Structure 1
Amino acid sequence: VMTAARTLGVDAVDEGFTRFSEEHAQGQLVPRIVEVALALAQRVLVADGTDRLTGADLLRRAALVRAAVLDAGQAPGRPVAVLRGHDVGAVAAIVGVIASGHPVVILDPTTPPARLRHYVEAAGADLVVSDTARAGTAAEVAATVVDPDADPGRWPDHLQAAASLLGSPADPDDTAVVVYTSGSTGAPKGVACDHRSILHDTWVNSEGTGAYPAGSVVVHLLPMAFSAGVTPTLGGLLAGARLELFDPRRRSVAQLPGFVREVGADVLLASPAILRGVVAALGPRGRLEGLKTVTMAGETVHGAELAAVRRAVGPECVVRNRYGSTETWLMAEYAISGDDEAPEGATPVGWAVPGARLQVELADGTLADEGTGRVVLTSRWLGGRYFGAPERTAEVFTDNPDGSRTFRTSDVGALGADGCLRLLGRSDHSVKIRGLLVEPGEVDALLFAQPDVREALVVGRPSPRTGRMSLVAYVVPEGPRPQAAAVRAVVRENLPSHMVPEHVVFLDALPRTERGKLDRSRLPEPPRSSAPYEVPRSSWEEIVHEQFCAVLELEDLSVHDDFFELGGDSLAAEALVSRMEALGDAALAPIGTATLAAAPTVAAFAAAARSTVRSSRPTLVPLRAEGSERPLFVVAGAGSAALALRTLAQRVDPGVPVLGLQANGLENRALPDWSVERIARRHVATVREQQPQGPYRLAGHSLGGLVALEMAHQLQRSGQEVELLAVLDSFPPDPSLMPAPEHAGLLAKVKEGASLALTGIKAHSGLGHYIRFFRQGNFLQRRYTTGVYRGRTLVVVAADDVDAGARRQWAAHLGADAVVVEVPGEHMSILRDPRVDRVARLVSAALRRELDLTALEDGTPVPGQGRGRAADLAER
């Protein structure tokens, strides 16, 4: 055994190990891992929060895995799979399989068994090393399963273990690991990675860039099954760093700052998505202390994200934005520290790492050291190939006369004269809009920089109607959802018009693969108009068409396209009404958002605006007139047109007509009502015109919830039955719970009072009219109280809103037949996509009487069938 140790360059086990150098890349993985583990036999090399492996422990457990694999009688060179959690046992298993002389295929336990079986079969493996917790899944994916942990008594002496691990020497060109790509744009490809390339990548990380040199304490939270996770798993052992494993799929990222402090980490390796979660959990003043390096890779990092990470880690920490691939390992790095000026927009991926050369392939197929084109890497350390697919390998890899290899990526980048690379997108994601080539990544970068956008992805989609390509922006809001038109306006102000997205789709989160990468195949289709394309047919339609385009920030649309399908919402509708009124055409009938609700296309709206028919009930807005059941009457909030409830109305169960109610004077020339009771009396009269007898179905949002509550009281006092009252994110009728208005001083307070008194009397241009009614409504709700309401009541609370705590305190104001349910979202976002679906399901279930409305005294649902259904619906 001591002879073996001396062969490794270690004269005594305690004397340490040689510093990792580029020459190590000419060797093999296992001898270097054994060298480090012998030198650090009594020191922890890997820990996972539950278990810890010293160097001696690692040698013993890896030797057991090697023996188990050899005992299974696998054919030489056939890959062996490892299916474990993000734990120390997985690290030992990976080392043991490589030491057996077999390539290892690392399987991710969160991936569905069918996909895992595909990987195993594609690699030609029929043996999987697993553990008790995953034995069932392992049996589904491979014919033979071994669990070396089942007999811990067999652990050999660590010196004997070291000798046994050296018993199957490998060639530097032999495959050590087969890594499968995510397959988000096609069938997964297995990349065969040899010993030499992994060793060189370790040198690049530990010494070439200094990211995690010997002695570092590395928080490793990247899945080991993917190339980004293989690098630190093997690289940490090879370099002599300590790996502290943290699994973000089993633990909240909010725990990560505490974990970093607890283990004394100085290096954090994470994806941008995880870092976004950490920064959000920390808050604006939180800090990730003690780190010397933070690395991120895998997707575009935008300037705002980079700035947030730098604030969290402080000036002493180097933040590294990196670029690599499964085929090449790390290719480039952009490091920023201290007072370095942060870049704007998409952060560059930087300069080629030592031993590599970056170029771009121009449109004519030539390679250039400067310019824009497909990114190409050349290095003498490239050993990757596609496992069992020489033809596919030859498509992107080229062997050069000087012994180096060249790899053509699928990324498009701009390479500066100084050698700094900026990625623009994927070569297979570029699209032509109106004959002009567009890299959607440029639009992504712009949207990412906006404070109200958390994530954004822009893609090209062909129109089923015209066949032409258009851009679709998928946006994850940071807080309340912005208008689709506002998103387009930002792009129009900063980029050429052909780069403005035609569609804006709001999502809770961008879909990702099991590897955390963006999964474009799961992006939903944008709303599409089935109407034929037709240009304006008269000068009047031309004028209306122009107003639609201006409000929606679109250059063109059909006169038959639906305003709301194109991203219009209640605010955009109010803006359209204001623009129409500003035309000053005496021939126009009084126009309100109710007109647009009934006539949402250019053609229909143009005809309706010319009509001389005036509504006798301007406070009534049919949001969905069709249906044979009893209607649901929904009251809008303060200063809000009933049209704001249109999306909710469309999602309530078919068959239920939904009629909106809004303030008198909001969209007609009339004085407003100056108490909640008066508003309710007016609405009750309107309701009874539409439905003379009960039972009645009432709902309301914000102030509208209080108005609906008062309507229910008045109807009950008149002997009518109220079947359901649905209160959507409203304060209870308790003025002490409502926030008081803030004024800069006495003068501001006087001006506010004077403005309030003129509500509905003095004209106010643009959206100021709606704002004045909003303030008047808030004034009224702070003066409304009432007795306990005893009737079936559903209260929905927007859990993420700053006032959620006050808005859930309805228990003292409702009887026993009531329930309070929280849903994700904020005050206005629960009325919009994607949040509104959950609210609509709750209201629909209550209408169908599938939701038991029973509550405890504190207003929370009681255990039992009713609560389970409510909770289930809210979750879904």
Structure 2
Amino acid sequence: MTKTLARFLAQARRTPDRVACRYGDGVLTYRQLEEGSAALAAVLEEALGEDRRPVAVYGGRQPEMIRAFLACVRSGRAYLPIDDSCPMARLRTTLAAADASVLLCCQPLPEDLEGLNIWEASRVEEAAACGKECPENLAVSEEAPFYILSTSGSSGQPKCVAVSGGNLDAFMEWAGPLCGNGVILGSSPFSFDLSVPGIYCAITSGGTLAAVSLDDMDYRELFYQMGQSQADLFIATPSFVSFCLADQTFNQDLMPRLERFLFCGETLSPRQSRALFRRFPRAQVWNSYGPTEATVAVTAVEVTRKMAESGDPLPAGAPMGRNRIWISDKEGNSKEDGRLGEIMLEGPQVALGYLAGEPGFSVLPNGDRLYATGDLGCLRDGQLWYHGRLDRQVKLRGYRVEAGGVAEHLRSLRGVAAAEVVPVLDEEGRPQWLAGFVIPEEGCPSPERLAKELRKQLYPYMVPRRIVLVDAFPLTPNGKLDRKRLVELL
């Protein structure tokens, strides 16, 4: 059993009637979370037996999702969270990529999916209420996959990252004390790894996860839930908080107990930090960095008012816990302090790897794992500075998106002779949305119809906001695609 799971079980015994997680009107106490996950784990074990393949869990932010996650790991199986915004075509490819044995539904699916082992929400609820107990010796070990997350691949197909129980334990060593034991306001879907600290830092410390969503709540409901949360910590992407900052009521009066913001998933700007200091004068602002492949985050730094006022780009922080970072040149040699190169991560948080064995991971002679991030950065005075990607991958609302993968889906549609997808940047140079460009052939649908077809295959954030039909793609003098001139066509 992992340390993280053991700490949850111990906490549930100490504070059984305390609220562990809530979303809207949905609430589960520690007792309900522990007993329900034990019962569901026992039923899973009875049904699946020796089949130890991952179990997929479908739904939104409801507390029953967390109960299902715990049931999976207590039965000795990794869980694969799938958000309810996932198109059914992509759901199928994700289940296949992860080789999932069963799909547990915490809410109804929008359509029938023949050929899959699906447990409807009523069956899951009945199993969680059956009162059975699951032996503790079945639980996932430190060496085994604890959860699996699907990320965007350059081919357009999902890649599945296996994060072990030991990886999560190593992350929790430093993230737990930073997050505290109060109410954690979480804004990320459970299929996104930024949700992990909110879930496990809360339920291992006697705290409460209060989840909110831009997808399921209207503007007024979102702010009402924030105000009712009594949150001490707010974990979010910079994009989510930028949306909140557009309303002047997003301030310390709305959340008087808020002590800390924790950001990850995107670059936090000095402008955003200054706005937060004005609105929340009693709150700290923390910036962090880390890919899914290294268990949420590996660096962190408290952003000071002086740093924000300087207007200079903010550091991503110093390595936390037992993580090690170095900067590599093209030959794999370590670069000197202050020199740009690829960010390389070593240590106990580096995940087991991709399920399909894609490159990026390696094992060092001492047994530690190494991950080549594909991110550009440098180290100065012990702090990491992030400078974007080495490839065409971009971050949108904290999600990693392969523009080339989206273009592959666009090229597969009827009537598309050729297609390219590029990010559109804001004034600070950060990707804000995708634009698609199509050279049509006979029978090509309208841009609106092309976007509609893409929505059947891709998450909403991956679909280009605008699709433009062009006669040809602009080229650079050396004959390569000129992406800058493409954007100018919008």
TM-score by length of 1: 0.45
8 Å contact from structure 1 (residues 129, 146) kept in 2 = yes
- Aligned-residue offset at 1:260: 2.8
Q: Corresponding residue for 1:204?
A: 174
1:271 aligns with 2:237: yes
Whichever residue aligns with residue 246 of structure 2, its letter is A
8 Å contact from structure 1 (residues 275, 309) kept in 2 = no
Structure 1 residues 63 and 313, CA, compared in 2 at 3 Å: closer, same or farther?
Answer: same
Q: Among 375, 382, 386, which residue is 2:350 paired with?
A: 382
Structure 1 residues 526 and 410, CA, compared in 2 at 3 Å: closer, same or farther?
Answer: farther
Q: Corresponding residue for 1:86?
A: 61
1:474 is paired with a residue of what secondary structure? strand
Q: Among 141, 158, 178, which residue is 2:148 paired with?
A: 178
Q: Among 399, 413, 424, which residue is 2:363 paired with?
A: 399
2:340 is paired with a residue of what secondary structure? strand
Q: Among 474, 493, 498, which residue is 2:424 paired with?
A: 474
Structure 1 residues 125 and 27, CA, compared in 2 at 3 Å: closer, same or farther?
Answer: closer
Q: Among 367, 372, 378, which residue is 2:340 paired with?
A: 372
Structure 1 residues 279 and 196, CA, compared in 2 at 3 Å: closer, same or farther?
Answer: same
Q: Corresponding residue for 2:27?
A: 52
Q: Corresponding residue for 2:301?
A: 334
Equivalent residues in 2 for 1:4-403, closer than 5 Å: 27-131=2-106, 133-135=107-109, 137=111, 139-140=113-114, 142-147=116-121, 148-151=123-126, 154-156=129-131, 161=133, 164=134, 166-183=136-153, 186-207=156-177, 210=178, 212-213=179-180, 215-282=181-248, 288-314=255-281, 316-329=282-295, 330-337=297-304, 341-368=308-335, 370=337, 371-389=339-357, 392=358, 395-403=359-367
8 Å contact from structure 1 (residues 110, 514) kept in 2 = no
Structure 1 residues 515 and 473, CA, compared in 2 at 3 Å: closer, same or farther?
Answer: closer
Give, in whole Å, the separation in 1 of the partners of 2:112 and 2:283: 41
Structure 1 residues 319 and 121, CA, compared in 2 at 3 Å: closer, same or farther?
Answer: same
Structure 1 residues 406 and 90, CA, compared in 2 at 3 Å: closer, same or farther?
Answer: same
Q: Among 350, 373, 382, which residue is 1:419 paired with?
A: 382
Give, in whole Å, the separation in 1 of the partners of 2:44 and 2:114: 19
8 Å contact from structure 1 (residues 261, 290) kept in 2 = no
1:59-83 deviation digits (Å, cap 9, x = unpaired): 1211222123123225432111111
Structure 1 residues 514 and 388, CA, compared in 2 at 3 Å: closer, same or farther?
Answer: closer
Structure 1 residues 165 and 375, CA, compared in 2 at 3 Å: closer, same or farther?
Answer: same
Q: Corresponding residue for 1:550?
A: none
Whichever residue aligns with residue 119 of structure 2, its letter is V
8 Å contact from structure 1 (residues 62, 95) kept in 2 = yes
8 Å contact from structure 2 (residues 252, 258) kept in 1 = no
Whichever residue aligns with residue 385 of structure 1, its letter is G
**Which consecutive residues of structure 2, in runs of 5 or more, have no partner in the other structure?**
408-420, 430-434, 438-453, 477-484
Structure 1 residues 181 and 35, CA, compared in 2 at 3 Å: closer, same or farther?
Answer: same
- Aligned-residue offset at 1:531: 11
1:409-447 deviation digits (Å, cap 9, x = unpaired): 01011221x0222211111149xxxxxxxxx99xx9xxx
- Aligned-residue offset at 1:355: 0.9
Give, in whole Å, the separation in 2 of the partners of 1:153 and 1:380: 33
- Aligned-residue offset at 1:272: 1.5
2:341 is paired with a residue of what secondary structure? strand
1:682-734 deviation digits (Å, cap 9, x = unpaired): xxxxxxxxxxxxxxxxxxxxxxxxxxxxxxxxxxxxxxxxxxxxxxxxxxxxx
Whichever residue aligns with residue 23 of structure 2, its letter is D
Give, in whole Å, the separation in 1 of the partners of 2:60 and 2:168: 22
Q: In terms of mean alpha carbon deviation, does 187-196 or 289-298 score higher?
A: 289-298
**Which consecutive residues of structure 1, in runs of 5 or more, have no partner in the other structure?**
1-25, 431-439, 445-456, 462-470, 477-486, 492-502, 506-510, 534-556, 558-564, 568-832, 834-876
Structure 1 residues 30 and 532, CA, compared in 2 at 3 Å: closer, same or farther?
Answer: closer
1:176 is paired with a residue of what secondary structure? strand
- Aligned-residue offset at 1:382: 2.5
Structure 1 residues 141 and 384, CA, compared in 2 at 3 Å: closer, same or farther?
Answer: farther
- Aligned-residue offset at 1:141: 7.5
Bigger relative CO (Cα 8 Å, ≥ 6 apart): 2
TM-score by length of 2: 0.77
CA RMSD of aligned residues (A): 3.8
Give, in whole Å, the separation in 1 of the partners of 2:196 and 2:150: 12
- Aligned-residue offset at 1:299: 1.9
- The structure carrying a bigger strand percent of its residues is 2
8 Å contact from structure 1 (residues 191, 384) kept in 2 = yes
2:289 is paired with a residue of what secondary structure? strand
Whichever residue aligns with residue 218 of structure 1, its letter is I
8 Å contact from structure 1 (residues 202, 239) kept in 2 = no
Give, in whole Å, the separation in 1 of the partners of 2:197 and 2:222: 21
Whichever residue aligns with residue 410 of structure 1, its letter is G
Whichever residue aligns with residue 237 of structure 2, its letter is S
1:289 is paired with a residue of what secondary structure? coil
- Paired positions, count: 434
- Aligned-residue offset at 1:113: 0.8
8 Å contact from structure 1 (residues 113, 141) kept in 2 = no
Give, in whole Å, the separation in 2 of the partners of 1:302 and 1:41: 41
Structure 1 residues 200 and 143, CA, compared in 2 at 3 Å: closer, same or farther?
Answer: same
Give, in whole Å, the separation in 2 of the partners of 1:407 and 1:530: 35
Give, in whole Å, the separation in 1 of the partners of 2:250 and 2:24: 28
8 Å contact from structure 1 (residues 81, 127) kept in 2 = yes
8 Å contact from structure 1 (residues 202, 238) kept in 2 = no
Whichever residue aligns with residue 420 of structure 1, its letter is Q
- Aligned-residue offset at 1:173: 0.2
- Aligned-residue offset at 1:356: 1.0
Structure 1 residues 216 and 182, CA, compared in 2 at 3 Å: closer, same or farther?
Answer: farther
- Aligned-residue offset at 1:33: 1.9
8 Å contact from structure 1 (residues 223, 515) kept in 2 = no
8 Å contact from structure 2 (residues 274, 305) kept in 1 = no
Whichever residue aligns with residue 348 of structure 2, its letter is R
1:204 is paired with a residue of what secondary structure? helix
Whichever residue aligns with residue 353 of structure 1, its letter is M
